[in-house]
């Protein structure tokens, strides 16, 4: 393994002004990659609220509404409710 590829274990990574542990940075990167495709269209529609990101709340409300709609549609055909 080349010296440039050796990971420095125990040293936190620096992101902006804050130091972040490598595991925390990996988890944050994973969550960002998973949620960004669902949140991006909502962020394009919503106006800029000056640093307050309400797109996760909107997504949760949309998913809740969709869940209830599916239960209403399929609840009448005998599908068990959870």
pLDDT tens readout for residues 16-65? 556 678 888 899 999 999 999 999 999 999 988 888 999 999 999 999 99
**Across residues 10-16, what is the average pLDDT?**
55
For residue 78, pLDDT beyond 80: no
Residues ≥6 apart with Cβ < 8 Å to 35: 56
The predicted pLDDT at position 57 comes to: 95
Instruction: Judge whether 43 lies within some domain.
Output: yes
The predicted pLDDT at position 60 comes to: 96
Instruction: Judge whether 37 lies within some domain.
Output: yes
Instruction: Judge whether 15 lies within some domain.
Output: yes
The predicted pLDDT at position 35 comes to: 94
Instruction: Judge whether 60 lies within some domain.
Output: yes
What separation, in Å, do the N-terminal and C-terminal C-alpha atoms of the chain show? 52
Instruction: Judge whether 81 lies within some domain.
Output: no
23 closest CA partner among 31, 79, 5: 31
Instruction: Judge whether 54 lies within some domain.
Output: yes
The predicted pLDDT at position 4 comes to: 53
Domain total in the chain: 1
Instruction: Judge whether 82 lies within some domain.
Output: no
Residue 49 and residue 51: Cα distance in Å, rounded? 6
Find the domain containing 70 and state its range.
3-75
């Amino acid at each position: 393994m080349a010296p440039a590829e050796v990971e420095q274990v125990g040293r936190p990574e620096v992101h902006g002004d804050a130091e972040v542990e490598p595991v925390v940075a990996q988890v944050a990167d994973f969550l960002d990659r998973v949620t960004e495709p669902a949140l991006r269209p909502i962020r394009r529609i919503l106006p800029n609220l000056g640093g307050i990101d309400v797109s996760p709340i909107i997504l949760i409300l949309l998913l809740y509404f969709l869940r209830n709609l599916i239960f209403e549609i399929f609840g009448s055909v005998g599908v068990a409710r959870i």
